[in-house]
């Protein structure tokens, strides 16, 4: 029954509007760190415009048949604004012994990422959403994020296809 619920959960996200926050840990077995990141996503608010542009990087964990869910990986997100729109771009590194972007500035991220105005962010009351999916049901690349208003950390939960979910807690730096 749990497997059936898991499948319904993912099909629901494929056809649902962008608004709903994911409840990954309610459908699959998550580690304590994944649960803490998902809880941070629910407790936060949308990313504050006055904090942008900014670089965020930190630890990521993956619920996937390919990776041990307790292994620490790293992610970096660059958020920028143009006119009234926020834009998202990021880099993810697997099996790095430490955060390779811990000391990056905004200029470092802009220079390495390239087109930083490619992926627009949809803003909602308590979170932000990015849909990088480009081929309907064959490509699912969805990101939900919220920001802790005190620490300015970003909690990022995402889907890369049906079978891989990511959980990152990213610290702000490089303003």
**In the predicted structure, residue 129 carries a pLDDT above the cut 70:** yes
- Per-residue confidence (pLDDT) for residue 5, from 0 to 100: 39
SS (H, E, C) 83-140: CCEEEEEEEEECCCCCCCCCCCCHHHHHHHHCCCCCEECEECCCCEEEECCCCHHHCC
Segment 140-154, tens digit of pLDDT: 789 999 999 999 999
Domain interval for residue 57: 2-173
**Mean per-residue pLDDT over the chain, rounded:** 84
CATH number at residue 8: 2.40.128
Instruction: Report pLDDT for 12.
Output: 40
pLDDT of residue 14: 41
Q: Measure the CA dihedral 66/78/144/57, to 10°.
A: 60
Strands 141-147 and 128-131: antiparallel
How many structural domains are present in the chain?
1
Q: Are strands 54-63 and 165-173 parallel, antiparallel or unpaired?
A: antiparallel
**Average pLDDT for 99-117:** 91
DSSP string for 51-90: G-SEEEEEEEEEEBTTB-TTS-EEEEEEEEEETTEEEEEE
pLDDT higher for 160 or 129?
129
pLDDT score of 18: 47
Task: State yes or no: pLDDT of 2 exceeds 60.
Answer: no
Report residue 137's pLDDT band, with 50, 70 and 90 as the boundaries: low
- Residue 166, H or E segment: strand 165-173
What is the tens place of the pLDDT at every residue in 4-51?
Answer: 334 434 444 443 454 578 888 877 789 999 999 999 999 999 888 888
Per-residue pLDDT tens over the stretch 65-101: 889 999 999 999 999 999 989 999 999 999 999 999 9
Q: Does 170 or 13 have the greater pLDDT score?
A: 170
């Amino acid at each position: 029954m749990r497997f059936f619920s898991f499948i319904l959960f993912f099909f629901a996200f494929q056809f649902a509007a962008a608004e709903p926050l994911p409840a990954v840990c309610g459908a699959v077995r998550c580690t304590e760190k994944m649960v803490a990141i998902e809880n941070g996503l629910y407790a936060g608010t949308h990313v504050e415009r006055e904090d942008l542009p900014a670089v965020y990087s930190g630890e990521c964990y993956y619920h996937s048949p390919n990776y041990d869910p307790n292994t620490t990986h790293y992610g970096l997100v660059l958020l920028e604004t143009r006119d009234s729109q926020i834009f998202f771009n990021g880099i993810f590194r697997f099996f790095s012994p430490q955060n390779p972007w811990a000391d990056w500035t905004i200029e470092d991220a802009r220079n390495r990422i390239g087109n930083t105005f490619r992926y627009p962010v949809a803003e909602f009351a308590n979170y932000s959403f990015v849909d990088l999916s480009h081929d309907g049901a064959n490509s699912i690349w969805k990101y939900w994020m919220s920001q802790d208003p005190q620490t300015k950390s970003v909690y990022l939960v995402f889907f890369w296809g049906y079978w891989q979910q990511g959980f990152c807690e990213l610290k702000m730096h490089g303003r």
